[in-house]
A and B are shown apart, each in its own frame.
Chain A
Amino acid sequence: MSSNDVTHHAADDHDHHHDHDEHGPAPGLMRWVTTTNHKDIGTLYLWFSLVMFFIGGAMALVIRAELFQPGIQIVDPMFFNSMTTMHAIVMIFGVVMPAFVGLANWMIPMMIGAPDMALPRLNNWSFWIMPFAFTIMLSTLFMDSGGPAGGWTLYPPLVLQMGDSFAYVIFAIHFLGISSVMGSINIVATIFNMRAPGMTFMKMPMFVWTWLITAYLLIATIPVFAGAVTMLLTDRFFGTSFFSAAGGGDPVMFQHIFWFFGHPEVYILILPAFGIVSSIIPTFARKPLFGYDSMVYATASIAFLSFIVWAHHMFTTGMPLAGELFFMFSTMLISVPTGVKVFNWVATMWRGSMTFETPMLFAIGFVIMFTVGGLSGLMLAITPADIQYHDTYFVVAHFHYVLVPGAIYSLMAATYYWMPKWTGNMYDEKLGKLHFWISTVFVNVLFFPMHFVGLAGMPRRIPDYSLQFADWNMIATIGAFGFGFSQLMFVYIIVKCVRGGEKATAEVWEGARGLEWTVASPAPYHTFETAPAIDAATVTR
């Protein structure tokens, strides 16, 4: 891209900013309560998920502390169960999903040359539901009956044994669902209606593509989940028996409905990560993304396949043979488009001119460790072997590899990558790299041993275990505390960057391409009030 272009666009926006001073942020706290600005709302989402990350992380540390050695030392098994349940709910619905929505809010309008999201008031509302929903959810931990302790999968009949917190949990889930669906509708509406002239679908950055597909997954599956939990609610309070054999229902039907939501949900948690990594690797390899078209098609195929693999979570429930075979084959098939993505990233790196700033380190960490999780996923697809793996720590290792050094690493990569654009300051590169290396050491010390104890036969969701698992559990706990506390560095780096630092240029990164890098750093409060020109220099492909 020519530097002329950059200054031209930056100056453009600067002028607009002056023209519209009266549209600047309202002063004080009310700015955040009443804001309809996509950047403000993005910031709110991101801070919210950072706070929740530490709450969910603290729960994980309670779990790991109890599992440090055999015997029950610290918490009652019932509280242990509510920690595993809440840890999952917080991390999925409170960290990864809102963080991705935050990034979507910040980046999608800037990437497609739109002045804001299509539905700004709805946007404000979808954020502000979340803190209240989570206050309700977390408050159940302080009730006499304790929080939900039947696992985040909420399987009946166990979940129906929950005490008074039951109704609160269902209520909070409904509100989180409403928030997600509204956010998704907003994203779809924005991408369809707000693209700058010339920004055709096949020119959109991969992050926009992956989010478009994710938004459809959310719109399709969250209502299914809402239906399932509502049926739980009526079973508990209104005498229905959807999930009770005594009244003609079937507890396994809940599992089918839940995983029809739950499996696409897994991809909701990873597709935007694919988009982030597909933005970062080309930048630091100084080479366009390899196979853009196949990346788009692979994402769409993964999304489609995600709807027809759900029962691979249920191979031990006693499905007919034909069902088991179908779900085994369809699950194995998912590895094809996922493999295409990994190969494309590697091919993007190949014969590039790479530098390894913090975002690139996290992105490469993502590709490697996500692939480890993907490969164990392929093992889990083999039904006869899954009978042995199911509900053991092998599964725990698998999904933590795709979610922590997977989804969470992509979020960290995104934060380092776009933070100079958000704040106008460069973060501390040295600390960023240190953060990466320390996290990477500990995350593997934490999760890798779980493969071993799982294969050796340790079930998940148990507060105490037999002695042959003791050594690896101790190591995993050391890793957990190391990983948990090293995330304080992340907060420190963010706060330091927000408060000052070396000034960032508009382009920030030498190899960066895309509309977001054509506006000044920090990005003005309003960007692209007049649509930018779309040319070879401003599209990522």
Chain B
Amino acid sequence: MRSSVYRSGFRWAFLTVLLLALPLGAWADWGALNMTKGVTEISNEVYTLHMRIFYICCAIGAAVFGVMIVSMFLHRKSRGAKPATFHESTSVEIVWTVVPLVILIVMAIPAARVLIKMEDFSDSEMSIKVTGYQWRWHYEYMESGVSFYSQLDAEHNKARQQGADVDLAETFIGTDFNGEEEVYLRQVDNELVVPVGKKIRFLHTAADVIHSWWVQDLAIKKDAIPGFINENWARIEEPGIYRGKCAELCGRDHGFMPVVVRAVPQEEFDAWVADKQQAMAQADTESGRQWSHQELVATGKEVYQANCMSCHQAEGQGIPGMFPAISGSDIATGSIDKHINTVMEGIEGTLMSPFGSVLSDADIAAVITYQRNALGNAMGDTLQPAHIGSLRKDIDIKAPSSVASAVNTIETEGVN
């Protein structure tokens, strides 16, 4: 009876190996199995450390499991093994305490060296302040004053809603410096453009909850903590697009706040900064002019889809018990002043965050006009950006120093 049990044991072991091997052969994209080497000196050193400790672990594992397997084979009762009686050996025990200690020291020295290098923020050539919001990033170039919000691309945002019937693999192919790649959830509306070869200092903070800004190719990940500023640095060697994401749980849409860093040569970067500064100046005049109702509703739809839809849903129906509906709601069909107040200042103690400092005058006017005249509501009123501008003086919420997403995109397209 016992031997049949062993046979069944080995059969199962064999099946295990087979089952584990099958998927490996059939599906594995081997490139997706390991950490990237990345494109900075630090990221390469981190990769080397990772591989070194990995091989050490493999060696320890092979030794320990090897002895166990040999023992399980040789020292079985069914093979007639008689139990020995030894139960201690001071010399052996000293050896297997000291040998791991030596291995650890060998590992700790290079790790400490890399860590010290990572923490050296001195002599940076430019600084970018990165602020985490639920659920977007705000970038501010300290030298040039260029600043903007960056969030998940609108098409991706639509595709990731529950019930969206989109063939993700077909729809979201982007180009990387390596050629085509799948970019679902890895595309943003405004990329962070940086020059190659410069030591860039990143300053991390957050506006609401803790986020974590992570770009694997740069081997940097640092928590963005409200009320505190963390430092980080990178010197990117090669031009290219490097994709990252928020790594710290930050609420409902934590999985949907990607980072895209585009590293370009210095001249290209300078040209980009000049363009950006011009666009910002243009956007300011945009807020002052008179908008048509249709223009506001059309822009408002874009703003809604980028900022409101993930909670209040595509048709404004909300999620009962969790996120209130916009369609037929007291706020969207009641006094417009209360509506403006809600959007700009948020509702304390709820997930409705204040958008006054996130969206431009035009975006706020547009999204409120849209909410009151679409999504099943038909109030017929129109809110002008200039009105929001005048309100800001009273309620003391400063406009973001640049125009957020939708307007920005539309305007740049219009200019070109």
Count of A-B residue pairs with CB < 8 Å: 327
Residue numbers in B under 8 Å from A332 (CB-CB): 104, 107-108
The reply on B179 being an interface residue by CB < 8 A is: no
Residue numbers in B under 8 Å from A449 (CB-CB): 23
- Nearest CB in chain A: distance from B216 CB, A: 5
- Among candidates B87, B169, B183, B209, residue contacting A541 with C-beta atoms closer than 8 Å: B87
Contact, CB under 8 Å: B226 / A316: no
- By the criterion of a CB under 8 Å from any partner CB, how many residues of chain B are at the interface? 117
Tell me whether A352 and B84 are in contact in the complex, defined as CB-CB below 8 angstroms, given that A325-B115, A385-B53 are known contacts. Answer: yes
The stretch among B155-163, B275-283, B361-369 that forms the contact with chain A is B155-163
- Scan A256-292; emit 1 where CB is below 8 A from any B CB, else 0: 0000000000000000000000000000011111111
The reply on A22 being an interface residue by CB < 8 A is: no
Contact, CB under 8 Å: A382 / B49: yes
The stretch among A38-46, A56-64, A438-446 that forms the contact with chain B is A438-446
Compute how far the CA of A294 lies from the CA of B97 in the bound complex, rounded to whole angstroms.
10
Contact, CB under 8 Å: A346 / B185: no
Tell me whether A387 and B255 are in contact in the complex, defined as CB-CB below 8 angstroms, given that A328-B108, A351-B81 are known contacts. Answer: no
Contact, CB under 8 Å: B53 / A251: no
Compute how far the CA of A350 lies from the CA of B65 in the bound complex, rounded to whole angstroms.
12
Contact, CB under 8 Å: A252 / B112: no
The reply on A375 being an interface residue by CB < 8 A is: yes
Residue numbers in A under 8 Å from B186 (CB-CB): 466
- Scan B199-227; emit 1 where CB is below 8 A from any A CB, else 0: 00000100011101010100111110111
Contact, CB under 8 Å: B8 / A433: yes
Chain B contacts to A: CB under 8 angstroms:
2, 5-6, 8-9, 12-13, 15-16, 19-20, 23, 27-29, 32-36, 42, 45-46, 49-50, 53-54, 56-57, 60-61, 64-65, 67-68, 71-72, 75-78, 81-89, 92-93, 96-97, 100-101, 104, 107-108, 111-112, 114-116, 118-119, 159-162, 164, 166, 168-169, 172, 181-186, 204, 208-210, 212, 214, 216, 219-223, 225-228, 230-231, 245-256, 310, 319, 321-322, 350-351
The reply on A342 being an interface residue by CB < 8 A is: yes
Contact, CB under 8 Å: B68 / A157: no
Compute how far the CA of A531 lies from the CA of B151 in the bound complex, rounded to whole angstroms.
71
Residue numbers in A under 8 Å from B322 (CB-CB): 76, 78, 144-146
Tell me whether A471 and B76 are in contact in the complex, defined as CB-CB below 8 angstroms, given that A291-B93, A346-B71 are known contacts. Answer: no
- Among candidates A286, A367, A382, residue contacting B107 with C-beta atoms closer than 8 Å: A382
Residue numbers in A under 8 Å from B228 (CB-CB): 245, 250-252, 318
Contact, CB under 8 Å: B247 / A71: no
Closest to B248 in A: A391
Compute how far the CA of A385 lies from the CA of B92 in the bound complex, rounded to whole angstroms.
32
- Among candidates A289, A328, A466, A472, residue contacting B184 with C-beta atoms closer than 8 Å: A466
Compute how far the CA of A343 lies from the CA of B98 in the bound complex, rounded to whole angstroms.
13
Known A-B contacts: A251-B228, A355-B76. Give 5 more (CB < 8 A): A72-B162, A78-B319, A81-B252, A459-B246, A467-B169
- Among candidates A150, A318, A382, A448, residue contacting B53 with C-beta atoms closer than 8 Å: A382
- Nearest CB in chain B: distance from A341 CB, A: 11
Closest to A469 in B: B32
Residue numbers in B under 8 Å from A114 (CB-CB): none
Compute how far the CA of A469 lies from the CA of B27 in the bound complex, rounded to whole angstroms.
11
The reply on A537 being an interface residue by CB < 8 A is: no
The reply on A336 being an interface residue by CB < 8 A is: yes
The reply on A47 being an interface residue by CB < 8 A is: no
- Scan A437-478; emit 1 where CB is below 8 A from any B CB, else 0: 100110011001100110111011111111111011001000
Tell me whether A346 and B29 are in contact in the complex, defined as CB-CB below 8 angstroms, given that A388-B221, A468-B182 are known contacts. Answer: no
Compute how far the CA of A339 lies from the CA of B104 in the bound complex, rounded to whole angstroms.
12
- Among candidates A252, A317, A437, A448, residue contacting B9 with C-beta atoms closer than 8 Å: A437
Contact, CB under 8 Å: A245 / B252: no
- Among candidates A150, A251, A364, A385, residue contacting B50 with C-beta atoms closer than 8 Å: A385
Tell me whether A77 and B84 are in contact in the complex, defined as CB-CB below 8 angstroms, given that A286-B77, A391-B248, A468-B32 are known contacts. Answer: no
Residue numbers in A under 8 Å from B36 (CB-CB): 456-457
Residue numbers in B under 8 Å from A352 (CB-CB): 71, 75, 81, 83-84
Residue numbers in B under 8 Å from A522 (CB-CB): none
Contact, CB under 8 Å: A455 / B162: no
Residue numbers in A under 8 Å from B253 (CB-CB): 77
Residue numbers in B under 8 Å from A328 (CB-CB): 108, 111-112, 115
Contact, CB under 8 Å: A384 / B20: no
Residue numbers in B under 8 Å from A383 (CB-CB): 111, 115
Residue numbers in B under 8 Å from A541 (CB-CB): 87
Pairs A–B under 8 Å by Cβ, sample size 25? A70-B184, A70-B185, A73-B162, A76-B252, A146-B321, A251-B227, A285-B75, A286-B83, A316-B212, A316-B247, A318-B231, A321-B115, A336-B100, A339-B96, A343-B64, A352-B81, A355-B76, A378-B57, A387-B46, A388-B50, A391-B248, A437-B16, A441-B15, A456-B36, A463-B255
Contact, CB under 8 Å: B16 / A340: no
Compute how far the CA of A429 lies from the CA of B321 in the bound complex, rounded to whole angstroms.
50
Residue numbers in A under 8 Å from B247 (CB-CB): 316, 390-392, 459
- Among candidates B19, B230, B252, residue contacting A318 with C-beta atoms closer than 8 Å: B230
Contact, CB under 8 Å: B209 / A157: yes
The reply on A226 being an interface residue by CB < 8 A is: no
- Among candidates B108, B172, B209, B245, residue contacting A329 with C-beta atoms closer than 8 Å: B108
Closest to A75 in B: B162
Compute how far the CA of A293 lies from the CA of B97 in the bound complex, rounded to whole angstroms.
14
Tell me whether A350 and B226 are in contact in the complex, defined as CB-CB below 8 angstroms, given that A335-B100, A466-B186 are known contacts. Answer: no
Compute how far the CA of A457 lies from the CA of B34 in the bound complex, rounded to whole angstroms.
9
Contact, CB under 8 Å: A461 / B71: no
- Scan A324-348; emit 1 where CB is below 8 A from any B CB, else 0: 1100110011011001101100111
Tell me whether A455 and B75 are in contact in the complex, defined as CB-CB below 8 angstroms, given that A332-B107, A368-B65 are known contacts. Answer: no
- Nearest CB in chain B: distance from A271 CB, A: 19
Contact, CB under 8 Å: A464 / B28: no
Compute how far the CA of A461 lies from the CA of B350 in the bound complex, rounded to whole angstroms.
21
- Among candidates B33, B89, B216, B227, residue contacting A245 with C-beta atoms closer than 8 Å: B227
Residue numbers in A under 8 Å from B108 (CB-CB): 328-329, 332
Contact, CB under 8 Å: A448 / B20: yes
Contact, CB under 8 Å: B184 / A390: no
The reply on A356 being an interface residue by CB < 8 A is: yes
Contact, CB under 8 Å: B72 / A364: yes
The reply on A158 being an interface residue by CB < 8 A is: yes
- Scan A148-187; emit 1 where CB is below 8 A from any B CB, else 0: 0111000101100100000000000000000000000000
Report the 5 A-B pairs with minimum CB-CB distance, sorted nearest first.
A245-B227, A462-B255, A318-B230, A437-B12, A375-B57
- Among candidates B33, B45, B71, B181, residue contacting A452 with C-beta atoms closer than 8 Å: B33
Residue numbers in B under 8 Å from A51 (CB-CB): none
Contact, CB under 8 Å: A76 / B162: yes
The reply on A240 being an interface residue by CB < 8 A is: no
Contact, CB under 8 Å: B111 / A387: no
Tell me whether A354 and B35 are in contact in the complex, defined as CB-CB below 8 angstroms, given that A71-B168, A157-B226 are known contacts. Answer: no
Contact, CB under 8 Å: B29 / A471: yes
The reply on A371 being an interface residue by CB < 8 A is: yes
The reply on A353 being an interface residue by CB < 8 A is: yes
Tell me whether A367 and B19 are in contact in the complex, defined as CB-CB below 8 angstroms, given that A150-B249, A379-B50 are known contacts. Answer: no
Residue numbers in A under 8 Å from B96 (CB-CB): 339-340, 343
Compute how far the CA of A145 lies from the CA of B83 in the bound complex, rounded to whole angstroms.
61
Contact, CB under 8 Å: A456 / B112: no
Residue numbers in B under 8 Å from A119 (CB-CB): none
Closest to B215 in A: A457
- Nearest CB in chain A: distance from B336 CB, A: 28
Compute how far the CA of A383 lies from the CA of B19 in the bound complex, rounded to whole angstroms.
35
The reply on A396 being an interface residue by CB < 8 A is: no
The reply on A7 being an interface residue by CB < 8 A is: no
Residue numbers in A under 8 Å from B225 (CB-CB): 245, 251-252, 317-318
The reply on A244 being an interface residue by CB < 8 A is: yes
Contact, CB under 8 Å: A387 / B118: yes
Residue numbers in B under 8 Å from A222 (CB-CB): none
Tell me whether A158 and B249 are in contact in the complex, defined as CB-CB below 8 angstroms, given that A245-B228, A375-B61 are known contacts. Answer: yes
Contact, CB under 8 Å: A467 / B50: no
Closest to A287 in B: B83
Residue numbers in B under 8 Å from A375 (CB-CB): 57, 60-61
